[in-house]
Chain A
């Protein structure tokens, strides 16, 4: 009998079977709920993909959609581009992300705390305006930055409308920032005694990094890499704009074009999406197998976090990281802000290109305050819901012996394998067609649930890998003192993984605040957030005022980022930084 079992509270010892049944029922209910919300929309879409005929009308059953989808002439080239682009940018991003995360979490790099927050900001920037800004800078013929470089280095050749242009755009816009965002909390949770032992044995810093640190971080690095690959396969906005002119197709743009048909071809889009799903399921299983092979505990009762002294490399490395941040956030933010004061975005050669009218228009719009309130309610609600749900799912997956825990874990990967532009219709069918959700349809609750579930994969996996770093003895010590499971979770586990939860909360808040298509589809007139106000301005041809609304949304998420940072610094292991 283990120590934990021997010291369980008395009532639990008297009724062990009842306690076991209640928890098993609860876990099973959780599994059923997650399975239903995740699988039912995809199942409906898959069934619908065999219905042939115009949307909304009775049709016949057949495989026409599948035949048409896979007989597209560019599908092979698109698959090839998708794989090559995904592997290339993920390889570069992981290398940079691991290095930067290690610098921020394990060393005495100057200003590391604020540098980390700046990477969060990079992640919260809206992609499309940032991309348009980079195009102004890096267009092969007229790019402002490229032409400046050519004045120094004549003959310098680069065009953003190219295969490498797509890779570079992803890296500078949010890919590296995302890796740093996800990896840094996990690196911080590593006990420095392991590195010290390596160095004491005579290993160099790179040897320690690659033979001790990286292997211990395997679950997190694997998860981040796999998530990155999945997101690469779904990414289409940058590829649509940069790849279109250079005739580079990727798989997701083929799917996107099906949904944009009139009427939309959801059947063909679903057929194409099923390929991604089937290709990724073995990868997910492989990741689960690798992560489950050994223990990755790095936080125990004897946890220490002494920082590695960079010595003379402190300031040069600071300059490197700060330089990357200038490229990734300072330039795009500058462009975005400058754009809000321009009469026509990007047209510097107008006789008088500057104006305050864009800001005046938005700040006097009656929709602004209501939109702001709706955004806060929806985003905060989705964040709270998702953090609670994801923490429970992660805990059940990692810390219980529930027979369905591996299945539960596998299910959390599924939503990210099917593109959001396809699953949004499935979610509509789910919420309208099932009795349990139907009463909530049209209310803000359905938006909170839908947006909460949208971040399922990243949220659960991130919290799970953080929990895997915690030694079991920490909880057993709590049980030995008489605490129950929920108390232990609340007072021992959660504080230790608070930085990770803050990261998950921030990511979900940002995504919910800027979500457009899901909110448009499931929302109602009473809960219109700022993202839809922005859309209205864009559709009225007022791009510059729309950018002002985008800046307001960005500032809102910046506020959330600062709050999340404050919470994670006060709790978590960052408090013990530099201590023995």
Chain B
């Protein structure tokens, strides 16, 4: 092949490849039936649905948990004319991607469904979301009485991301073969000098089960308690949750904060780890929410998905998806909607929040809970600086 032929071939190949890429052109048009145009929600909904079918698809970003896939399949059964392009990414990876794309004029996603920490910490302040209000159309979604607590729960002061679920828990486990209940039975005893050097904590240098548990302790017991736990008790800080779980099971440490809950659940479900016990109290609530990303390329399809997801049907589909894809206990199979029954595990394990008294919890994934997470991270930083880790 001569040089000219090589050049032409390369150019053609690049051209073909270029055709498949994302463009930076902003989307055209908006909602087909903005709120002020008509007060009849059914008429609005019909217009929106027609426009959504014209748009041809909706791009939904979810966490990598498999139950979201199952949930989206159910949307597809209900609205076969609106196929879903699902992008499953961890929020920590999607956050820099979506911000960078938006800053460069690329708007490729419509809806984001996920735990809300990264949304609140980074994407909301960066202006990455649309206000949800124009997109909420169906009466069952706009009716405040349909939500536990008497109103929709937004994770920030502005209505950008609505929580569809709150999950209450704490992650403090004890190996009863090493530490009987007579010696350690409440979380207040975490600062008992007898436990000095015997507590393993997942390194609270970033938000995860370990640091989230510490926010619950901070919320209820105060800064002095937290400092005592992190400094005076000389805990062992371990980065890998699965490893820490094995250390607890193998008896290396009698108490562990921030273990890998799925591994422990699996072990107990299969008849093992009988002497491992989880202590309750001073919980945190982790919220899971949904938002419409800035300049959605398919705004009407986004509205259809959003309203379906927050409806009774959508939330029931979510509960069933969790039950179908994850191993028990089904603590996450619950919803903020009053007309969607949670899985009995969520009630038994007290994973469902008391939405009327949310002040009991450290509200993680919400604007209100940010200072507490920052305080936990700062407290650990002080430990590092003093050489205590």
A residues at B contact (CB < 8 Å): 22, 54-57, 72-74, 132, 135, 139, 141-142, 240-241, 244-245, 247, 257, 260-264, 266, 343-344, 346-347, 349-353, 425, 428-429, 432-433, 438-443, 445-446, 517, 520-521, 524-526, 528, 532, 535-537, 539-543
A347 in contact with B118 (CB, 8 Å): no
Identify which of A347, A440, A520 contacts B90 (C-beta below 8 A).
A520
Cβ contacts under 8 Å, A74 to chain B: 384, 387
Which residues of A have CB within 8 Å of B266? 343-344, 541
Q: Name the residue in A135, A244, A442, A526 with the highest tally of chain B Cβ atoms < 10 Å from its Cβ.
A: A244
Distance A432 CA – B98 CA, assembled complex (angstroms):
11
Encode B16-27 as 1/0 by CB contact (under 8 A) with A: 011111111000
Please pick, from B87, B96, B242, the residue contacting A524 in the complex, using a CB distance under 8 A.
B87
Q: A56-B123, A241-B239, A541-B263 are in contact. List 8 more A-B contacts (CB 8 A).
A: A55-B95, A142-B251, A240-B239, A245-B236, A247-B389, A350-B270, A432-B106, A540-B325
Chain A residues with CB under 8 Å of B243's CB are 132, 135, 241
> Cα distance A56–B126 when bound, in Å?
5
Q: How far is the CA of A445 from the CA of B19 in the complex (A)?
A: 11
* Contacts A/B (CB < 8 Å), 15 sampled: A54-B122, A54-B125, A72-B384, A141-B250, A142-B250, A240-B239, A241-B239, A241-B243, A244-B239, A352-B270, A428-B97, A443-B17, A536-B65, A539-B90, A541-B263
CA distance A528 to B85 in the complex (A): 12
- Checking B17, B63, B122, B125 against A440 with a beta-carbon cut-off of 8 angstroms, the contacting residue is B17
| A503 and B249 alpha carbons, distance in the complex (Å) | 42
Bound CA–CA A542/B266 (angstroms)? 9
Q: With A142-B252, A521-B93, A540-B67 in contact, do A244 and B21 touch (Cβ < 8 Å)?
A: no
Task: Using CB atoms, name the residue of chain A closest to B200.
Answer: A245
CB contacts (< 8 Å) of A432 on chain B: these are 100-101, 104, 106
User: Are B267's CB and A347's CB within 8 A?
Assistant: yes
Provide the residues of chain A in CB contact with B270, threshold 8 Å: 343-344, 347, 350-353
Q: B interface, how many residues as a size bin?
A: 35 or more
B24 with A539: CB separation less than 8 A:
no
The distance in angstroms between the C-alpha atoms of A3 and B90, with both chains bound, is 61
In the bound assembly, the distance between CA atoms of A486 and B97 in angstroms comes to 41
Among A56, A132, A245, A537, which residue has the most Cβ atoms of chain B within 10 A?
A56
A247, A433, A536, A543 pick with most chain B CB within 10 angstroms:
A536
Asked if B263 contacts A442 (CB within 8 A), the reply is no
Write out the residue numbers on chain B whose beta carbons fall within 8 Å of the beta carbon of A22: 3
Q: How far is the CA of A129 from the CA of B144 in the complex (A)?
A: 48
Among B134-142, B203-211, B224-232, B285-293, which stretch is in contact with chain A? B203-211
CB pair B21–A443 under 8 Å, yes or no, is: yes
Judge whether B17 and A257 touch: CB under 8 Å: no
Task: Tell me which of B66, B121, B327 has the highest count of chain A C-beta atoms within 10 A of its own C-beta.
Answer: B66
Residues from chain A with Cβ under 8 Å of B69 in the complex: 536
Return A349 CB to nearest CB of chain B, in Å: 6
Which residue from B20, B103, B387 sits with its C-beta under 8 Å from A73? B387
A437 nearest in chain B by CB position:
B21
Is B117 engaged at the interface, CB distance under 8 Å to the other chain? yes
CA distance in complex: A542, B238 (Å)? 22
Q: Find chain B residues with CB under 8 A from A344 CB.
A: 263, 266-267, 270, 272
Q: How far is the CA of A543 from the CA of B264 in the complex (A)?
A: 12
Bound state CA distance, A525 and B69, in angstroms? 12
A542 to B265, CA, bound (A): 11
**In chain B, residues 111-132, which have Cβ atoms closer than 8 Å to a Cβ of chain A?**
117-118, 121-123, 125-126, 128
> Does B189 interact with chain A (Cβ within 8 Å)?
no
Give every chain B residue within 8 A of A55 (Cβ-Cβ): 95-96, 99, 122, 126
Which of A264, A349, A425, A438 contacts B24, CB < 8 Å?
A: A438
B17 A445 Cβ-Cβ under 8 A: yes
A428, B206: Cβ atoms closer than 8 Å: no
